[in-house]
Amino acid sequence: MLQDKIKQYTEEINQFQAAALADVEAFRLKFLVSKGIVKGLFEEFKSASAEDKRVLGKVLNEFKQLAEQKFAELQAPFESASANQKQAQEGDLTLPGNGFQLGSRHPLSLVRKEIVEIFKKLGFVVSEGPEIEDDWHNFSALNFPPEHPARDMQDTFFVEKKDENNIALRTHTSSVQVRMMEMGKPPFRAIMPGRVYRNEAISARAHCFFHQVEGLYVDENVSFADLKQTLYHFVQELYGEGTKVRFRPSYFPFTEPSAEMDISCTICKGEGCQLCKQSGWVEILGCGMVDPNVLENCGIDSKKYSGFAFGMGIERVTNLKYVIRDLRLFSENDVRFLSQFETELI
Ligand code: DAH
């Protein structure tokens, strides 16, 4: 009886085939779990006669081994299949990695950094001020007369109209000069980079926001010769030795005398090209000796102290390095443009 059953199940096991993992599980549930057939036969075996036990013990043990071995055989192909599947999902680990693309620095950031580095070596510190500014710091303290056209709605983005002291987006970084001088005592030697805003129609040559770097040097006995030498050195450092400079008289309310500085065209080296409109020269900044009125407005004794200031547009300086013909590219975030510039690991 027990022997018959063993014979019958042995046959069943020998013929058992698993088409799917579920069949393997069915096999296990039928034969190998604690309420399964193998265990059941061992239970039956307990009540067999001593004589039967002698014969059946060996047969039953072989049956158990057969069931376990069959289970392992049934399981094997599915295990290696699932290992293959796992590897396919994870990818081939022996392949070289894909790498990832690093961003690049914005050209304006690169040039700003370069400008700042040059002046830092001359002992200038970096200072910043707010982009939302009041009339006093943006205009009045800088000696702009009340009716000056730059204060006009056409040029300035107003945030809030107040009787005496309108709040607006700063139109230049010269406002930072005022904040710096109001807050401290001379000597001052600072470079002030930042974003500025003007109410202009956006085109290839003009934008409603751009970037400037302001410079200020105030101490006893500062002269126009100091101004010229500092800016000359700056240009040699930024555009290379041999770049020529020239100063043209100009007017700014906050400097007296005032000048604009041109450099020999960096593209044609002064020969004449489209960029310099065939003149061989390009303007890069405005400058001058700080007007005594400005010093006094900021609480500085203009009899004792004098100083020079300058301001330049970072976009313009960048154009002269990289020849970018459309200002709008700077703010469009087009990676085809941006990825052409230096990548820097921080
Ligand atoms: N603030 C002027 C502008 O936005 C630039 C400038 C000219 C700044 C002369 C100065 C300066 O400090 O001395 O056009």
**In this model, does residue 78 exceed pLDDT 80?**
yes
- Report which protein residue has its CA nearest ligand 1's atom 3: 172
**In this model, does residue 346 exceed pLDDT 70?**
no
pLDDT at 3: 86
Percent of the chain with pLDDT over 90: 70
From the CA of 177, give the closest atom in ligand 1: 12
The CATH architecture one would assign to domain 107-344 is 2-Layer Sandwich (3.30)
Angle 180-256-242 from CA coordinates, rounded to 5°: 90
Per-residue pLDDT tens over the stretch 294-313:
999 999 999 999 999 999 99
Provide the mean pLDDT of the chain: 92
From the CA of 290, give the closest atom in ligand 1: 13
The rounded Å distance from CA 285 to ligand 1 centre is: 7
**Which of 174, 197, 248, 312 gets mutated to test ligand 1 (max ligand atoms within 8 A of its CB)?**
174
Q: What DSSP assignment string belongs to 25-67?
A: HHHIIIIISTTSHHHHHHHHHHTS-HHHHHHHHHHHHHHHHHH
Q: What is the mean pLDDT of residues 43-59?
A: 87
Beta-bridge partners for 217: 189, 308
Q: Which amino acid is at 174?
A: S
Residues of the chain with CATH 3.30.930.10: 107-344
The rounded Å distance from CA 142 to ligand 1 centre is: 10
**In this model, does residue 342 exceed pLDDT 60?**
yes
- Report which protein residue has its CA nearest ligand 1's atom 8: 311
pLDDT band at 323 (very low <50, low <70, confident <90, very high): confident
**In this model, does residue 345 exceed pLDDT 70?**
no
76: three-class secondary structure by DSSP: helix
**In this model, does residue 99 exceed pLDDT 70?**
yes
**In this model, does residue 247 exceed pLDDT 60?**
yes
From the CA of 288, give the closest atom in ligand 1: 13
The rounded Å distance from CA 316 to ligand 1 centre is: 14
Pocket around ligand 1 at a 6 A CB cut-off: 172, 174, 214, 252, 255, 286-288, 309-311
